[in-house]
Structure 1
Amino acid sequence: MNLRRKLLLVALCTLALPIAGWSYVRQMEALLRDGQAQALLASANAVARSLVVTGAVQPEPRRSWYVQAPPGPITVDGYGDDWAPLTPWAQPLGQHGRLLLAADDGGLYLYANVRNIRRTRADAGDANALAADHVILTLGTAAGQRRYLLTSAAPGSFTAQPLDPAVDGLPDLLAAQWQEDGSGYQVELRLPTTLHLNVLGVGVYDAAAGGDRMASDTRTLLSYSDELSRELAQLVPDRVQARVLAPQGWLLGRTGRLDSAPDADSQPGWFASLVYRSLLATRLEDANPWSQDVPRLETPEVGQAGAGKPVAVWRSGEERGSVVLAAAVPIERAGQVDGVLLLEQASRAVPLLANRALFALLLTSFGVLLVAGAILLAFATRLSLRLARLRNAAERAQLNDGRLDGLFEQGRFPMTGAPDEIGDLARSFERLFVVVGGYTDYLRTLASKLSHELNTPLAIVKSSLDNLEHAALPVEAQPYLARARDGVARLGALVRAMSESSRMERSITAAEPEDVDLRDVVRGCADAYRALIGTRRLDCVLPEAPLRLHCAPELIAQALDKLLDNALSFTPEHGWLRLSLSAATGGVDIELANQGPLLPEAMQGRLFDSLVSLRDKATPGDAPHLGLGLYVVRLVAERHGGVASARNLDDGTGVAFSLRLHGMPRQRL
């Protein structure tokens, strides 16, 4: 991973700022919610106490029948079509029945639906009517209670028969409707409002199951109270919806409505609403169970308040982007819960404040992140460029043989004046190359110094050996004398070769360039080599078009001589050689390939160094191989701005030595 990517990762660490801010905004939103919840709970407790003091909420028994408001006119026909909107709030009747009660100006309507597939039928006036499937209806007023038998042997209208003596104000006969289907039967009737009932009892008898034939579940009647609603309207704060519920959740009174028409400035957009609900808001209850038009609320919060525990809950609002705070508190009298007061308040302040804080934080964090990222990227770019400049200077300063290319003759090493760590590194590189340059110059002149110093002791040894030849030596000493003379001869050849190497470097440096067609140079060398290679075959491959280069042709011919001498040492007697010339990008390529053994992998990069040779060690009397030939080839290539290289042929039949030449610089007049 490069330096820029590492610094980019460091810049990404600034993302911890928006994450920490997001956590802070969530805590702030939770505190705002808690503050509003405590305030609404306090208001709800105050209203509940006022309702108890004014007596607006009367003690209610735990068991009661709730009378709903019908959604439209009800036709007493025994069918449940008119009751369909009220069916979700049907009250259980026995084990297999449901009861619906509704009241309007026309009277009190009763609809009972009993599931019973095993029927025993009889008319209400039959002697065995109580033994058949039937419904017991109990009506109670201040004067007393009276029971009626509701049963019929066939669908249609029927008359309910009284089972108890007459009671003032209660009718002797009741008209009702009886309908049946495959799942059971339905009973529907209407009671006049002039009865002023205070209790109502309904019982279902199943002849197949048995039981008490005269039993009925008698309860008080509950219904929505306009008087309670008016009293509640005087106590509830503005923009708050209040509902008084029975302990079982039935609606007794209501006032106010949730603020469903907010100002345009306070209406959040869809994106702000999405951000609030997904990133900021803690858990919100669904709005459906809290509908404003249902006659009964069966939420856990209402149940807790009915058990005497105040509770507050946040739920989603009906309008986009709004949330609703609901506070449910018990209405208690002498330790007895008479009802539940539910206050609901739509709140857009919390989402708006939280969204504004979050967006401000995100914008600030994004700006800081961009600035920090830009600064770090600029710093990383500058640092990378400086390091690249330092790397390029280090790679350009030293050639393959350890010599410097004149970098320090043009000036100091780059960035040595910088006061930071990179400047320290550049100064260390400069000192290192100065030392390396001095040591390289010493090694380059070492051969000439040694050759000069060795000439005198070699002359002394040679003259001493000449004198020994004229002296009378024992026969057994003659081989040792011959070996000494051979060793002196080899040392002399080494000294001459080192001197020749030094002179050759100077001659290569002093060579004068000219514009020549390299085809003529290579062709002339190939023609001369064929007389020297014996039984070996030499192929010469030249381009058809002229290939001109500003170079020293005698140096190129000398390099080819060294390459041929090296190739002949490894080419078998009847082997082949191939000398080729081709154009290359910015110069030319000259390649001499020969059949023979392949190059060792470890030596391919060292073949062109001085005093390196792959030939077998010389035997006594042979001329020593000093490994200077390929070194001269490299010097010639570098003098022409190119490189020398060696490789194994792809087919594995031999090796190829190449010269990539770009030409010598032209001298300015």
Structure 2
Amino acid sequence: MNLRRKLLLVALCTLALPVAGWLYVRQMETLLREGQAQALVASARAVARSLVATGAALPQSSRGWYVQQAANPITVDGYGDDWAPLTPWSQPLGPRGSVLLAEDAGGLYLYVQQRGTQRSRADAGDAGALRADHVVLELDRGDIRLRYLLASAAPGPFDARLLDPPVPGWPDRLSGQWQEDGGGWRVELRLPNALAVDRLALGIYDAAAGGDPLAVDARPLWRYSSVLSQELARLAPEDTRVRVLAAPGWVLAQSGRLQSGGPQPGWFAALVYRALLANRVEDAAPWTQDAPRLDLPEVARAREGRPATVWREGETRASVVLAAAVPIGAPGRVRGVLLLEQASTTVPLLANRALLMLLLTSFGVLLVAGGILLWFATRLSLRLGRLRDAAERAQLADGRMDDLFARGRFPMTAAEDEIGDLARSFERLFVAIGGYTDYLRTLASKLSHELNTPLAIVKSSLDNLEHALQANDALPPEAQPYLARARDGVARLGMLVRAMSEASRMERAIAAAEAEDVDLREVVRGCAEAYRPLVGTRTLACELPDAPLPMHCAPELIAQALDKLLDNALSFTPADGWLRLGLAAREDGAEITLANQGPPLPAAMQGRLFDSLVSLRDKATPGDAPHLGLGLYVVRLVAERHGGSASARNLEDGGGVAFALRLRNMPRQRL
């Protein structure tokens, strides 16, 4: 992974800023909600205390029969079609029974259901009616209490029998409808409004289950109160909806409407708020305004004397509703529950605004930080690239330093940062390497100059010694071979000294060679024709391109390099072997190859063949001229003078070696 990608990863760490900010905004939204919830609970408690202080018509007990308002006319026929809208809020009566109470301008309607598969029938006037399935209805008003027996031996209309002494102004019997099927039986009747009962007692007797045939459950009647609703309208805060509930959750009064003042957030802001910021809110369905009963956990906690709050979805887009339920009455004697609801778009708007500012700030910081890091990484990469390129160009393949230091100091050595320290270290290193390389390059000429005088002294001393001994006939025959060996060693040392001097002169000559425009194909062809008499019994093949190959080069240097390659190839090619000289055009110049039959190159020597004083030939025998390994070194110098390279490889079939000379056009001299 390069430096810019690493710094990009570091820049991505700045994303922790918007994440932390997002968590902060969520915490802020939670705190805003808690503050608003505490304020609404305080308002609800104040309204509840005001209701108690003003003596509002509140329930006196925790149990009662709730009378719903009939939305449609009810026909007393014993069937539940007219009661369908009210059925979800039926009230339990006994183990398997239920009751529905409704009223309209026509009176108070009663609908009792009993589930069961067994049926014991008798009319209310029969002697055994109390032992059959029946309903006991008790009407209370003040001190007056009358009980009626509701029973029927068959489906259809029936007359209820009065169980208590008659009271003037109260009916002696009640008429109703009795219906039954395989799942149970139903009783429906209507009480006139003139009775104006304030308590109602009901009891279902199941003959199959047994029990007290006259047992009833007496409770007061609860209704929706317009008077209490007006009192709530006077006490409730603005833009809130307040409801008074009986302890089981029946709505006794309500006032106000949910109105979210202020600007409404757009659809995108609403989506952002609900997806990223809002904590969980409850569904709005159980809180419908038309429900006669709210069976909610918050109402249950308030009934136990503990205030409770809940956030739910609002009616408008992106709005939320805060509901607070508080008990009405003293602890231990709760008379009801006050439910106060308030819609709010302030929390979503504030949260969205904070998130928007956070995102804009974070995005700006991220852009600036990313841009600075990218600029820094790019600049650092470019500087390191310059340093790398300078280090790669500072030294040529033969160890010589190029003209980098001739043009000035090493790049970026004046910088005061770590890159500058590294550049100065490189500069000191290359200065030391350049000095050592120059010393090694001039070592041959220095040695040849310094060794000439000692060699001359040794040679003259050997000559004088031999003449002196021969003149006096004092040279023993057994000493003659040692004297010859000494002379041979001096001669070999002299040839080595002359070869080193010649190599130094050759480098200077190659560097000073001038280029001209020639057809390289003709240069190679001329060399091949000149080599044919030299190869003896060996076979020499020459492969040249069909078209001329013009090149701006030094032809005498190329011919000299080919001479060295041929001399090297003849040393390893057997007498009946073959040689193959080839020329091919390349995109950036030309390539000359000379392949010969012979032993393959050792793998360890392939990278060192073109160095100075390196040779694979057998050591010369005494009296032979020593081989110094300068031929292939000259070939490399010629290739580098032409901007190319020299290489050697084994043939794929293992039958020989191929040397390649890559050449490019030499730069033209400006006039």
Superposition TM-score tier, normalisation by shorter sequence: over 0.9
Matches of 2:348 and 2:595, distance apart in 1 = 83
Q: Does 1:208 align with 2:208?
A: yes
Match of 2:559 among 557, 560, 564: 557
The alpha-carbon distance between structure 1 residues 414 and 63, as it changes in their structure 2 partners (threshold 3 A), is same
Please identify, of 7-16 and 462-471, the stretch whose mean Cα deviation from structure 2 is larger: 462-471
Residue matched to 1:286? 283
Matches of 2:578 and 2:356, distance apart in 1 = 81
Residue matched to 2:232? 232
Question: Does the 8 Å contact 1:249/1:297 carry over to 2?
Answer: yes
Kindly provide the CA deviation profile for residues 473-517 of structure 1, in whole angstroms up to 9, marking residues without a partner as x: 555555544544443343233222212211111111122221111
Residue matched to 1:440? 437
Please identify, of 481-490 and 537-546, the stretch whose mean Cα deviation from structure 2 is larger: 481-490
Question: Does the 8 Å contact 1:57/1:338 carry over to 2?
Answer: no
Letter in 1 for 2:605: M
1:173-192 matched pairs, under 5 angstroms: 173-192=173-192
Residue matched to 2:646? 644
Q: CA deviation at 1:159?
A: 2.5
Matches of 2:465 and 2:154, distance apart in 1 = 160
Q: CA deviation at 1:11?
A: 2.3
Matches of 1:618 and 1:73, distance apart in 2 = 135
Question: Does the 8 Å contact 2:134/2:204 carry over to 1?
Answer: yes
Question: Does the 8 Å contact 2:593/2:661 carry over to 1?
Answer: yes
Letter in 1 for 2:551: L
The alpha-carbon distance between structure 1 residues 222 and 453, as it changes in their structure 2 partners (threshold 3 A), is same
Matches of 2:486 and 2:132, distance apart in 1 = 148
Matches of 1:578 and 1:168, distance apart in 2 = 145
Unmatched tracts of structure 2, length 5 or more: none
Unmatched tracts of structure 1, length 5 or more: none
Question: Does the 8 Å contact 1:140/1:197 carry over to 2?
Answer: yes
Please identify, of 392-401 and 128-137, the stretch whose mean Cα deviation from structure 2 is larger: 128-137
Residue matched to 1:251? 251
The alpha-carbon distance between structure 1 residues 646 and 68, as it changes in their structure 2 partners (threshold 3 A), is farther
The alpha-carbon distance between structure 1 residues 573 and 252, as it changes in their structure 2 partners (threshold 3 A), is farther
Q: Secondary structure at the match of 1:443?
A: helix
Matches of 1:178 and 1:568, distance apart in 2 = 132
Q: Secondary structure at the match of 2:334?
A: strand
Letter in 2 for 1:589: E
Residue matched to 2:546? 544
Q: Secondary structure at the match of 2:41?
A: helix
Please identify, of 426-435 and 329-338, the stretch whose mean Cα deviation from structure 2 is larger: 426-435
Match of 2:381 among 379, 384, 393: 384
Q: CA deviation at 1:580?
A: 1.9
Question: Does the 8 Å contact 2:59/2:246 carry over to 1?
Answer: no
Question: Does the 8 Å contact 1:314/1:324 carry over to 2?
Answer: yes
Q: Secondary structure at the match of 1:538?
A: strand
Letter in 1 for 2:441: R
Q: CA deviation at 1:365?
A: 1.6
Match of 1:666 among 661, 668, 671: 668
Question: Does the 8 Å contact 1:582/1:589 carry over to 2?
Answer: yes
Matches of 2:432 and 2:486, distance apart in 1 = 41
Matches of 2:103 and 2:112, distance apart in 1 = 15
Match of 1:329 among 326, 329, 342: 326
Question: Does the 8 Å contact 1:143/1:168 carry over to 2?
Answer: no
Q: CA deviation at 1:123?
A: 3.8
The alpha-carbon distance between structure 1 residues 456 and 192, as it changes in their structure 2 partners (threshold 3 A), is same
Please identify, of 470-479 and 368-377, the stretch whose mean Cα deviation from structure 2 is larger: 470-479
1:500-649 matched pairs, under 5 angstroms: 500-649=502-651
The alpha-carbon distance between structure 1 residues 128 and 595, as it changes in their structure 2 partners (threshold 3 A), is farther
Matches of 2:169 and 2:427, distance apart in 1 = 122
Matches of 1:615 and 1:304, distance apart in 2 = 107
Matches of 1:624 and 1:181, distance apart in 2 = 132
Residue matched to 1:400? 397
Q: Does 1:462 align with 2:464?
A: no
Q: CA deviation at 1:98?
A: 2.5
Matches of 1:170 and 1:116, distance apart in 2 = 33
Matches of 2:484 and 2:123, distance apart in 1 = 156
Question: Does the 8 Å contact 1:145/1:167 carry over to 2?
Answer: no
The alpha-carbon distance between structure 1 residues 65 and 561, as it changes in their structure 2 partners (threshold 3 A), is same
The alpha-carbon distance between structure 1 residues 444 and 190, as it changes in their structure 2 partners (threshold 3 A), is same
Q: Does 1:346 align with 2:343?
A: yes
Q: TM-score, normalised by structure 1?
A: 0.93
Kindly provide the CA deviation profile for residues 343-398 of structure 1, in whole angstroms up to 9, marking residues without a partner as x: 11111111111211221121112112111211221222122222212222222221
Q: TM-score, normalised by structure 2?
A: 0.93
Residue matched to 1:139? 139
Residue matched to 2:52? 52
Please identify, of 604-613 and 318-327, the stretch whose mean Cα deviation from structure 2 is larger: 604-613
Residue matched to 1:367? 364
Percent sequence identity over matched residues? 75
Kindly provide the CA deviation profile for residues 73-126 of structure 1, in whole angstroms up to 9, marking residues without a partner as x: 222222222222222222222222222211222211222232212333444444
Question: Does the 8 Å contact 2:68/2:292 carry over to 1?
Answer: yes
The count of aligned residue pairs is 666
Question: Does the 8 Å contact 2:305/2:331 carry over to 1?
Answer: no
Q: CA deviation at 1:278?
A: 2.7
Q: CA deviation at 1:143?
A: 3.9
Q: Does 1:420 align with 2:417?
A: yes
Matches of 1:573 and 1:137, distance apart in 2 = 139
Question: Does the 8 Å contact 1:301/1:312 carry over to 2?
Answer: yes
Q: Secondary structure at the match of 1:512?
A: coil
Please identify, of 527-536 and 278-287, the stretch whose mean Cα deviation from structure 2 is larger: 527-536
1:53-132 matched pairs, under 5 angstroms: 53-132=53-132
Question: Does the 8 Å contact 1:315/1:324 carry over to 2?
Answer: yes
The alpha-carbon distance between structure 1 residues 456 and 207, as it changes in their structure 2 partners (threshold 3 A), is same
Matches of 1:181 and 1:570, distance apart in 2 = 122
